[in-house]
Each structure stands twice: as C-alpha cells, then as structure tokens.
Amino acid sequence: MSGVENLARLPELRKKLLWTFALLAVYRMGIHIPVPGVDSSALAEFFANAQNTLFGIFDMFSGGGLSNMSIFALGIMPYISASIILQLLTVVSPELKRLQKEEGEAGRKKITQYTRYGTVLITVVQGFAIATGLESMSSPTGAPMVLFSGIGFKLMTILTLTAGTVFLMWLGEQMTEKGIGNGISLIIYAGIIAGLPSALVNTVQLMTVGEITLFILLFLLIVMAATLAFIVFMERGQRRIPIHYAKRQMGRKMFGGQTTHLPLKINTAGVIPPIFASSILMFPATIAQFSNNEMLQDFSSYLSPDSIIYNLLFIGIIIFFCYFYTAIMFDPKGIAENIQKQGGFIPGIRPGVRTREHIDKVLARITLWGALYVAAVCVLPMFLISKFSVPFYFGGTSLLIVVGVAMDFMGQIESYLISRQYEGLMGKSGKLKGRN
C-alpha cells in the first residue's frame, strides 16, 4: 500500500478504483432484491439449518444471494460453468482451437460470445430447477417457501435469475474494462468477504453458548493465521530456471553476455481450479437437492461437503484443472523458441526441443506440488466443520480465493503505478525527456 499516496496525483487510477468500488456496490445492493413470490421468513429458517451443507457453499459463492433468494441468487457461477465447458471443448474442437490461437482478438471475442450464450442456457436450467424445488420445499416449521406456486412463478423465477446472472456478467466485464483487476474474480471475492462478519459473529455465539471453548477458538485463530501465511508463501513461490545469453556483435555494438532466469510459479493456475471444481460439484448436486426423486436424493447425499466421496472428487478435479489450466496459460514450446531466437540457452540443456522438454518437465513437477497445496488448503474447512462445527468461511477455498484475488488486485495497482511513473519520464513522442 506504499503507493496509496500517489492516488491524488494519478486521477486515472483513482477513477478506475472508483469504478471498481461503485460496480461492487451495485452488486451488493442487488443481493437484497428478492425474487417475487418467495416467503423470505421461511427461506431464512431453512438456511439457518443448512449453513454447513451444499446450500451453504453455494450461498457463499453467491455472496448471500441464495439465502435471500435475490435476483443474484445464482451469482456468477453459471458463467464459470460455461467457461469451463468452452475451455474443455477448445481442447477437443479444432474450430474452437483455431479461433483461440489463429484468429487473435476476433477469435477471443467469438469464444466470449459463445460463453455468454452458454451462461444463459445454464442459468435457465438452474432457474427452472430452483423454481421447481422451491415449490415442493417448506421451512423446518412447515411454512411453504412459495406463496403462489404455478407456471407463472416458474417463468418469473427463470426470467429474474437469468436477468440477474447476465447483469452480473456484464458488471464483471465492465469492472475488468474500466476498473482494476479481474471483474469476475472480484465479484466472487466481494461475496465471500461480505459473509465474513456474520461468520465471526456466529463463532462468538457458539463460544458464548459453550459449543466452542476458548482454547478451540485460539486454536482456530492460529490455524487461520498459519493458513494465511502458507497461502501467501506458496503463491509467491517460484522455480527460477537460469538462462544465459551468449555475446554477439551487431555492427560496432556488443549484445548479450548476461544471465537472467525464467520464473515458474508453483501455482500457475491461481484460484481457477478450486472455483472450477466447486462449480462442477455444485451443479449436479444442487439440481438433485431441489428434486423429490429418491435416486437423485441418494446421489445428493453422496456429494455432501463432509462426505469422503465429495472430498476425493474435489481433490481430483482440483489437480486435473491445475494441470489443465497451466497447459492453457503456459506454452513451453513458444518460450523455448523465443529463448533460442534471442541467443539464449539453459546451462547444460541444448536449445530447441531439449529446452522445451526441460521446461515442460520442471513445470509438471512444480504443478504437482502446487495442485497438492491447493487441494490441501481447500479441504481444510471440511476438517474444521466435522471436528469443531465452525462456519465454512474459515480457511479453504474461500480464504484461497480472497488471498489470491487480493494479491492480484494489489499487483495490478502496483503495475499501473510503475507504468505511470515510467510514462512520466517519457515525452509524448515516447523518447526520454532531456535536461533544459
């Protein structure tokens, strides 16, 4: 935060931050606008007994929108699901692969357009499942969730939830374009942060009634601090591959002869794998829990967050997406070719194919440790819930997302400040200003 004092001198950065916070405020206001026809008191009673279930996890990612049954009840997760589907199809579809790699900006816009269509389709399906499930559900006291059920309620719910998710998607895109940071990640971040105060209050209440002792509370605080430090340490962790550049003469000038390094992050994929994994596991289980079908109910019980099957699937999907997303984001072949073109080489490794194989091998090894680290952090809440009955917000996916997004947000602010400082040294022509 050492660059905060520069905000007064950088109106562009101040404007971007104001845009970001204003759009986040719009999102948080929308959380409190309910879907018509739902009994809010009956819904509150239901979610009071479902905090540590799949509904609690989904409610966390929607920023409390599901427990309020607001217009943003589905949050941004349908967009995440559509992105997963498009990225998986990119691997197997030559047409999508050509759009992504050969068409450039136009191809990426086309894929973004397909993602939007997929988001609408997924939202319509989920909206219908939620509307149907609400009509058949009641609160623990027996009060019905829906005041006036029927086809009108279903259509209104589908239309409202679809419009809310599409509006959130637009908010995220505007945040990315006009603000600072990734808009979609910031929306998820804001939703999680908004639930932290209530989680802390619930923990204090549990200690007051004697369900959690002072010793356990201190232990939880130590675990949280250690987890936070561990996440920051691993997110900053790098494997640096040394690169030497041979000296070469061009005209009367000598170039090269320097040593640098290629930094490879331990967790190249960032917070994307746990978000993707949560989205995949929540989608079928949520539909199953809103249905009265006995087979779907049995299937839903196997995918409860505290079950062994859920956690094993969660870990497996996280590891898969760590490798999958790293393969999309990082191209060892292109990097090896660039190093060779610039006259560089890795000591003891031949340029070209051998360099690519070496980078690929190193990346595969550190990605395994990064995937295991992400999986270990994400299953931590399940242990805390089963042993100490604490709210879901402590540790795990939520803390990983909060720390990762916060570090990325501050990194982009720092990069912007550095770029503005360099621009201040340059004239409008792009040349360094000389002395008068």
Confidence of residue 57 (pLDDT cuts 50, 70, 90): low
Backbone φ and ψ of 72, nearest 5°? -105, 30
- The CATH number linked to 209 is 1.10.3370.10
62's tokens: 């929607």
pLDDT band at 102 (very low <50, low <70, confident <90, very high): low
Read off the pLDDT of residues 213-271 as tens digits, 9 standing for 90 and up. 778 778 777 877 888 888 888 888 888 888 887 766 666 666 556 788 888 888 888 87
Q: Report whether pLDDT(290) > 80.
A: no
Domain of 180? 4-425
Q: Which of 137-141, 250-254, 341-345, 427-431 has the lowest mean pLDDT?
A: 427-431
| pTM (global) more than 0.85 | no
Lowest mean pLDDT among 207-211, 283-287, 402-406: 283-287
> How many domains does one find in the chain?
1
163 band by pLDDT with thresholds 50, 70 and 90 = very high
305 lies in a domain?
yes
Residue 81 has what pLDDT? Answer: 81
pLDDT band of residue 436 (cuts 50, 70, 90) is very low
> Distance of CA 104 to CAs 92, 98, 276, Å?
19, 9, 25
The answer to the question of residue 432 being in a domain is no
CA distance 372 to 377: 9
The residues, ordered by sequence, that sit 6+ positions from 208 with a Cβ below 8 Å of its Cβ are none
Strand ranges inside 175-315, DSSP E: 238-245, 248-250, 253-255, 259-265
Does residue 167 register a pLDDT over 90? yes
In a domain, 395, yes or no: yes
- For residue 155, pLDDT beyond 70: yes
pLDDT at 398: 77
Q: Identify whether 436 is part of a domain.
A: no
Per the model's pLDDT, the better-predicted residue between 147 and 368 turns out to be 368
Residue 120 has a pLDDT of 92
Is a pLDDT exceeding 50 seen at residue 47? yes
Does 435 have pLDDT greater than 50? no
The candidate with the shortest Cα–Cα distance to 275, out of 62, 53, 23, is 62
- Whether 117 is in a domain gets the answer yes
Residue 237 lies in a domain: yes
Which residue has better confidence, 221 or 301?
221
- The span from the CA of 376 to the CA of 255, in Å, is 46
- Average pLDDT over every residue of 358-380: 89
Quote the pLDDT of residue 55.
63
Determine the average pLDDT of the residues in 48-71: 68
Task: Please compute the mean of the pLDDT values over residues 264-280 and round it to a whole number.
Answer: 81
Residue 263's DSSP bridge partners are 240
pLDDT at 405: 84
Comparing CA positions, the residue from 159, 195, 160, 117 lying closest to residue 394 is: 195
pLDDT band at 287, cuts 50/70/90?
A: low
Q: Between these two residues, 171 and 90, which has the higher pLDDT value?
A: 171
pLDDT at 153 over 70: yes
Q: Which helix (H) or strand (E) element contains residue 139? A: none
**Residue 76 in domain:** yes
Triad 46, 49, 52: Cα angle to 5°: 120
More confident residue, 54 or 136: 136
What is the pLDDT at residue 149?
79
Residue 372's pLDDT is 92
Residue 80 pLDDT exceeds 80: yes
- For residue 206, pLDDT over 60 is answered with yes
**Is the model's pLDDT at 71 over the cut of 70?**
yes
